[in-house]
Amino acid sequence: MTSQDGPGMATPVFYIGLHDIHRKDPITSDDIDLSYNTGYDMITTPITNNAFREHAASVVSNPAGSLISCLSTEYTSLTPTVSTPSMIGLVSPWVDVASKNPRVAHLSRQVLSMEVAYAAFCGISNVVLPPLFRGKDVPDHSAVSRYASAVASATTIGPYLQLLVPFPMDDQPIYPESTFTHSLSASIEDVRGDTTNASDPLSPWDAWNFVRSTCNYHAKLAIALNLPRLLPSEQVQSRWYSEPLRLLHLPTQSFAPNPKGHPVLSKAHQALLTRYMRLQQVPWLLLSGTESLQNSAAAQADPTPAEAANVPIEQVSSSSHLAYLRYFQMNQPPLPPLARFAQGYQDYLQSPLQPLTDNLESITYEVFEKDPIKYEWYEKAVALALQDLYAELQRPIVLAVVGAGRGPLMTRSLLASASTKVPIVPYAVEKNPNAFVLLQNRNAIDPLWDNRVTLIKSDMRSWSGPVVSSQPAKIDIMVSELLGSFADNELSPECLDGAQHLLHPSHGVSIPQSYTAWVTPIASPRIHSDLVHRPSSDIHKYDLPYVAMLHQYAFLSFSSEPLPPGPGGLLAYPPAIKQCWEFAHPLPPPVITASEARRTANPSAPGLDGGDGWNEHNVRRCELVFPITTRGVCHGLAGYFETVLYKPRDASVTAVELSTNPNSMDEKSRDMISWFPIYFPLKTPVYVPDGGEVEVVMERRTDDRKVWYTWQVVVWVEIGGVRQRVGVSEVGSSKENGCLM
């Protein structure tokens, strides 16, 4: 249930349910038929009836100790039916497991467990739990703790249930007409007693975070989020976006009348829905506060938007809100190319490719070759480099594509030569014997290649180099694409260093000329939950960076300069994404000389992590500090890269660059699809308070045979003028899964 038209296509399906907030008894089959006929996809139902509520209230107010009775036909009319799958069960909202009165809390837990178990028995697979937040109350930590403990117990009931935990988006009071305001406690005391009044929009999220941590990120838990009429800040919206949203509750108060009196959503609500409805698991929408089904049945069933727009104002009914949502669904903007390409892969963790040790399959090359930007940018870069070198050398340029794959960069180099009219002596070097067959084919049959490309089946590091006019020659332009999602993680530095002796020492150009790795801390509960629930026999699951189309996550650190205002005038800030390190080619000759000296068994010190230390120059370390204004949980690090393919000698001509860094990708290589980000997981997520700092310590290490990364997160807070370390993650290390050279 991800998108209407399968992978690559545009519009999500909206599943819309009806929630009658005044309903006290389970629904009947007539109600279900009516809701279908009105155009809803599902409907909420109480699990027990008002008699049960009265029974529970009498037990609560009788301290002599009578007990809650078992469910019987007196207390529920719900039975399993063919329509059960389209029902969302509601645990009685008067159940107050967070009450500070131990008796209320205890009886509430009994009711909760009976109702959840009965719903599960009936085959209802989605059950909304009673709310923690009611009316104006912001529960204190004891209440949150009691609530979390009750939810944790509920996760043990029924194997196939999804428990939907209701939360408001922020600390605005819940709509007064919601049944959520009345609880069992109200009959004997003030609802919760201790509450806080200070404004804190993240308090519901914080409570949710505590609940799900108590439940160890249980896969059965999801959120039923109440959308307020006034939406909170972009950061609060993004935080909820990263969480497992199953239901978005839209009370009619979230709508405003348009000039004709028809209910519509504000621009800000529209933007939020468009974003949330692109989640891979599209949340369901729940409409409440409309008039009862019986009344709205009189209105036209399932009207078209045009019909809905012509409904006289006095007839605006539940179907008007529904018709608006259907209209809104049909007018969703199409997905951008990268999002289309990534359909089905969102947040799916893949081990990074190792094209040096493994031989890639043809289909993998085919996927790279679909990129609409990368090859075009390489062609531009080669053209600029050819012009620069030809102006200096005035002879054919020796150009080698090292790691040619199936040949797309060779094709682009030949096109650049044709467009600039700079003659080239082309070489294509590839170590994958299977891809080499295709290179031979291409040379023979592609009219552009026309058998003029010299093909070398070799590792670039052991190739003896070009021969021009029967004489050994140097390469003028060495073109490669050995970059991984974190720039250097497919060992581009080691491969290109190994081939540098083939490059002309004074004017030789490497395309790319340099590349940088970038990182930022993120909240990624979905990915964390995926890792938590992988078998514990997978002992390295946290000790590996993953390639992932990051989707349901939230940035935690932002720069202080706002972006231009978005829909509804909400201010948003770009994420703080910082550079870890850089590699540039060719290396200064003394670095290569020193590396060679260490390799040739002289008495110099060994490498820090073993070996002779000849690859020590490719070791890197960074310590980066990220300010955190709004508290959150860091589950891992998102990594990106940027590369300068070629910076022309004429400084007035713009350099040709590629980027996957969200802050620069649109400017440098918009719509490029070849690389997903990389993700470095934390085994134990770390909580970062408001005003804290996340320090990221990363290293690229080597023992001359392989390369690996280590990563660690440290949380700092200033308390009483003293900077204190309040959280430290384990050190993640990919040493056991390092990239072999």
739 binds ligand SAM (CB under 6 A): no
Q: For residue 51, which amino acid is it? A: A
650 assigned binding-site residue: no
482 binds ligand SAM (CB under 6 A): yes
* DSSP E strand boundaries for 233-309: 245-251, 256-257, 263-264, 284-288
Q: Whose Cβ is closer to ligand SAM: residue 88's or residue 456's?
A: 456
- The piece of 399-407, 436-444, 601-609, 721-729 that touches ligand SAM (CB under 6 A) is 399-407
430 assigned binding-site residue: yes
Q: Whose Cβ is closer to ligand SAM: residue 218's or residue 668's?
A: 668
> Least Å distance between CB 461 and ligand SAM?
6
Contacts of 352 (CB under 8 A, 6+ apart): 484, 485, 489, 490, 545, 546, 547, 678, 739
> Least Å distance between CB 221 and ligand SAM?
40
> Least Å distance between CB 309 and ligand SAM?
51
| Spatial contact of 217 and 97, defined as CB atoms under 8 Å apart | no
Q: Which of 234, 430, 642, 703 binds ligand SAM (CB under 6 A)?
A: 430
Contact characters 693-732, ligand SAM, x per CB under 6 A: ----------------------------------------
> Least Å distance between CB 213 and ligand SAM?
40
> Least Å distance between CB 600 and ligand SAM?
21
378 assigned binding-site residue: no
* The two structure tokens encoding residue 304: 């078209």
DSSP code per residue over 3-56: -TTSTT--PPPPPEEEE-TT--S---HHHHHHHHHHT-SEEEEESS-HHHHHHH
- The piece of 426-434, 466-474, 502-510, 719-727 that touches ligand SAM (CB under 6 A) is 426-434
Q: Whose Cβ is closer to ligand SAM: residue 355's or residue 685's?
A: 355
487 binds ligand SAM (CB under 6 A): no
Q: Which of 88, 97, 399, 409 binds ligand SAM (CB under 6 A)?
A: 409
Contacts of 285 (CB under 8 A, 6+ apart): 14, 15, 16, 17, 247, 248, 250, 325
d(CA 5, CA 673): 21
Q: Whose Cβ is closer to ligand SAM: residue 75's or residue 375's?
A: 375
542 assigned binding-site residue: no
493 binds ligand SAM (CB under 6 A): no
> Least Å distance between CB 369 and ligand SAM?
6
Q: Which of 495, 580, 633, 665 binds ligand SAM (CB under 6 A)?
A: 495
Do the bridges between strand 245-251 and strand 256-257 make them parallel or antiparallel, or are there none, so unpaired?
A: unpaired
Question: What are the backbone angles phi and psi of residue 145, rounded to the nearest 5°?
Answer: -65, -45
Q: Report angle CA 428, 430, 435 to the nearest 5 degrees.
A: 105
Q: Which of 124, 247, 429, 503 binds ligand SAM (CB under 6 A)?
A: 429
461 binds ligand SAM (CB under 6 A): yes
| Spatial contact of 228 and 254, defined as CB atoms under 8 Å apart | yes
Contacts of 473 (CB under 8 A, 6+ apart): 398, 425, 465, 466, 467
> Least Å distance between CB 694 and ligand SAM?
32
- The piece of 315-323, 456-464, 521-529, 725-733 that touches ligand SAM (CB under 6 A) is 456-464
d(CA 741, CA 738): 9
Q: Which of 130, 131, 355, 525 binds ligand SAM (CB under 6 A)?
A: 355
> Least Å distance between CB 441 and ligand SAM?
15
d(CA 623, CA 603): 32
348 assigned binding-site residue: no
- The piece of 129-137, 353-361, 651-659, 689-697 that touches ligand SAM (CB under 6 A) is 353-361
672 binds ligand SAM (CB under 6 A): no
Q: Which of 181, 343, 417, 432 binds ligand SAM (CB under 6 A)?
A: 432
Among the listed residues 452, 319, 312, the one whose alpha carbon sits nearest the alpha carbon of residue 396: 452
Q: Whose Cβ is closer to ligand SAM: residue 231's or residue 517's?
A: 517
404 binds ligand SAM (CB under 6 A): yes
460 assigned binding-site residue: yes
Number of amino acids touching ligand SAM (CB under 6 A): 23
DSSP 729: P
Q: Whose Cβ is closer to ligand SAM: residue 84's or residue 354's?
A: 354
Q: Which of 365, 390, 515, 646 binds ligand SAM (CB under 6 A)?
A: 365
How many other CB atoms are found less than 10 A from the CB of residue 143? 25
- The piece of 253-261, 400-408, 564-572, 586-594 that touches ligand SAM (CB under 6 A) is 400-408
d(CA 85, CA 15): 13
184 binds ligand SAM (CB under 6 A): no
Among the listed residues 636, 637, 655, 635, the one whose alpha carbon sits nearest the alpha carbon of residue 646: 655
SS3 84: helix
Q: Is the dihedral of CA 461, 464, 467, 472 positive or negative?
A: positive
582 binds ligand SAM (CB under 6 A): no
> Least Å distance between CB 442 and ligand SAM?
12
In DSSP terms, 707 is beta-bridged to: 702, 739
Cβ-in-10-Å burial (0-12, 13-18, 19+) of 1 comes to exposed
Cβ-proximal residue to ligand SAM, closest one = 403
Contacts of 6 (CB under 8 A, 6+ apart): none
Q: Whose Cβ is closer to ligand SAM: residue 329's or residue 364's?
A: 364
Q: Alpha helices of 178-233 — where are they, by DSSP H? A: 203-214
Cis peptide before 7 (omega within 30 of 0): no
d(CA 165, CA 355): 45
Residues 500-529 that bind ligand SAM (CB under 6 A): none
Residues 81-120 that bind ligand SAM (CB under 6 A): none
Q: Which residues are catalytic?
A: 481, 490
Q: For residue 611, which amino acid is it? A: G
> Least Å distance between CB 511 and ligand SAM?
11
Q: Which residues bind ligand SAM (CB under 6 A)?
A: 355-356, 360, 365, 368-369, 402-405, 408-409, 429-432, 435, 459-461, 481-482, 495
Annotated binding site: 365, 374-375, 430, 459-460
